[in-house]
Amino acid sequence: MGSSSSSRNKIPNAQELMRQTGFSSAHLLRLHDRFESLDRDNRGYLSPDDFEALGGLAMNPIGGRIIEAFFSSGIPWTFPPLSGFWLISVQLTETETKKEHSKSSPAAGPGSSNLYDLDRDGKISREELLQVLRAMLGLQVTEEQLQSIAERAIQEADLDKDDAISFDEFKKSLEKMDIDTKMSVSFLK
């Protein structure tokens, strides 16, 4: 279609992006449209407040963490990085699903454990776990219950008893989980 080829020209380095990320041109177009609609003041790049304007994300319990996770590198988000954003999301998916290929230890990749591990010390401490739980369970449970739950979760996973969940322990505890079925978003063509 004529329109698509002209709009593809809006996207710089379209071909290269397509190759990098493995998306089709329709996907890229969609992402680009989304990028433009998010970037309200037309700065050409995205910043955290653009994301915060998204209502759904504001209500999402871990919305803040998602935003943080993607802005952690501090690079201004022009369009290629947005597709890179998607790529990271895809990576989150892929590293989780790599389980199928490797068939050894599940590759619960650095992606999702980063969502817990805010101070990036490679371990999920009790406090970090508590924060995540607090965000997700919110007002439904009392503080004691939260503590108990966090305590129990750590006890289940913590094999070397250092009271924090290292990345390996994290992987191990998710062995039996069917991550690949959960961790995928289908994209309408």
Partner 1 sequence: MTALWTLSLLLSASLLGCLAVTSPDGSPLPHNLPPSLGTNSSDGSLSVDLPMALRVFSMDYHHVQAPFEIVLWIMLASLAKLGFHWSGRVPAVVPESCVLIMVGLLVGGVIYGVRHSAPPTLSADAFFLFLLPPIVLDAGYFLPGRLFFENLGTILWYAVLGTLWNVLGIGLSLYGVCLLAQSSLGDVSLLHCLLFGSLIAAVDPVAVLSVFQEMQVNEQLHILVFGESLLNDAVTVVLYKLFESFLRLPSVSGLDVLLGGCRVVVVGIGGLCVGLFFGLLAALTSRFTSRAQVIAPLFVFLYSYLSYLTSEMLHLSGIMAIVTCAATMKQYVEANVSERSKTSIQYFLKMWSSVSETLIFTFLGVSTIQDIHMWSWPFVCSTLLLCLIWRATGVLLLTAFVNKLRRNAVTFRDQFIIAYGGLRGAICFSLVFLIDDFPKKRLFITTTIVVILFTVFVQGMTIKPLVELLYVKRKKRALPTLSEEIHSRLIDHLVAGIEDVVGYWGQHYWKDKFEQFNKKYLRRFLIRNDRQASSSILRVYQELERREQRGVEEEAPPIVDPRSQGRSLLPEEMESIRRILSRNLQNFNNKQTPAYSRHTLHQDTSVDRTRKPLYRHQSLGERYSYNTITHFQGEDGGLSEPQRVRTGLSRSHTVCSISPRSTLLDSSDSAGPAQTRSMDPKAAREDLVSPKHQETVERAARKHLSFVLENEKQQ
Binding site residues, partner 1, CB under 8 A = 31, 34, 37-38, 51, 54, 56-57, 60-63, 66, 85-86, 89, 92, 112, 115-116, 125-127, 129, 132-133, 136-137, 139-145, 147-149, 151-153, 155-157, 161, 163, 165, 170, 173-174, 176-177, 179-188
CB-nearer residue toward partner 1: 12 or 159: 159
Q: Are 82 and 31 in contact (CB under 8 A)?
A: yes
* Count of residues in the chain: 189
Please report how close the Cβ of residue 74 comes to partner 1 at its closest, in angstroms: 18
Please report how close the Cβ of residue 30 comes to partner 1 at its closest, in angstroms: 8
Please report how close the Cβ of residue 105 comes to partner 1 at its closest, in angstroms: 15
CB-nearer residue toward partner 1: 18 or 115: 115
CB-nearer residue toward partner 1: 2 or 143: 143
Helices (H), ranges, the chain: 2-8, 14-21, 25-38, 48-52, 55-59, 63-71, 79-97, 99-102, 110-116, 126-137, 143-157, 167-173, 179-182
Interatomic CA distance for residues 13 and 173, integer angstroms: 41
> What's the DSSP call for residue 58?
H
Please report how close the Cβ of residue 91 comes to partner 1 at its closest, in angstroms: 12
**Structural element, H or E, at residue 160:** none
